[in-house]
Amino acid sequence: MISLLADERLRQYDIIAIREEPLSEYWTYRQSALEYLDSPDIRVCFFINTRIEPSTWTVTYHSPYLATLDVKVRGGGAETNLKIHNVYNPPDVKDSAETSEVLTLLQNVDM
C-alpha cells in the first residue's frame, strides 16, 4: 500500500476504498485524508482526496471489517447523501463467524 500512496496518479481520484490485511502503518499522505480506525484488527479504510471538503463527509466504523463513508453530494440545485460501504472478506474463508458477523452488520446499516 505504501507504493500506492506514493504514486502521483492517485491524486486524480476523489475516493478509494482500501481493504488490506492488516492496515496499521501507512497513514497520512499529502493531498489526501486517509480515514481509518486506529485498531490492530482494522482491515478497511478510505482514501479521500482533499478536494472533497472534510465537512461534507463522515466515516462510520461498524467493525474492523466494515466501514461506511457518507458523502453529501450537491448537483442540480439539490443535495443528497451517497453511502459507500467498504467490506473486508477474509480470503479462503467460507461461512466463518467473521463473514456472518459482517453480513449481519451490513444488513443493519442505515442505507
Q: How far apart are CA 41 and CA 48, in angstroms?
A: 21
pLDDT of 30 reads: 38
Contact 46, 16 (CB under 8 A): yes
Q: What is the pLDDT along the chain (111 residues), one digit of tens a residue?
A: 667 767 778 778 888 888 775 554 444 333 445 555 567 777 888 888 888 888 999 988 888 888 899 999 988 889 999 999 998 877 666 666 666 777 888 888 876
pLDDT of 81 reads: 92
Domain boundaries, the chain: 2-108
Amino acid identity at 61: Y
The secondary structure element, H or E, covering residue 56 is none
pLDDT of 1 reads: 61
Amino acid identity at 29: Y
pLDDT of 27 reads: 43
pLDDT of 37 reads: 59
pLDDT of 2 reads: 63
Contact 76, 56 (CB under 8 A): no
Q: How far apart are CA 61 and CA 72, in angstroms?
A: 18
This prediction's pTM: 0.74
- The string of DSSP letters for 5-26 reads HH-GGGGG-SEEEEE-S---S-
Q: How far apart are CA 36 and CA 25, in angstroms?
A: 11
| Cell numbers for 65 | 471489517
pLDDT of 83 reads: 93
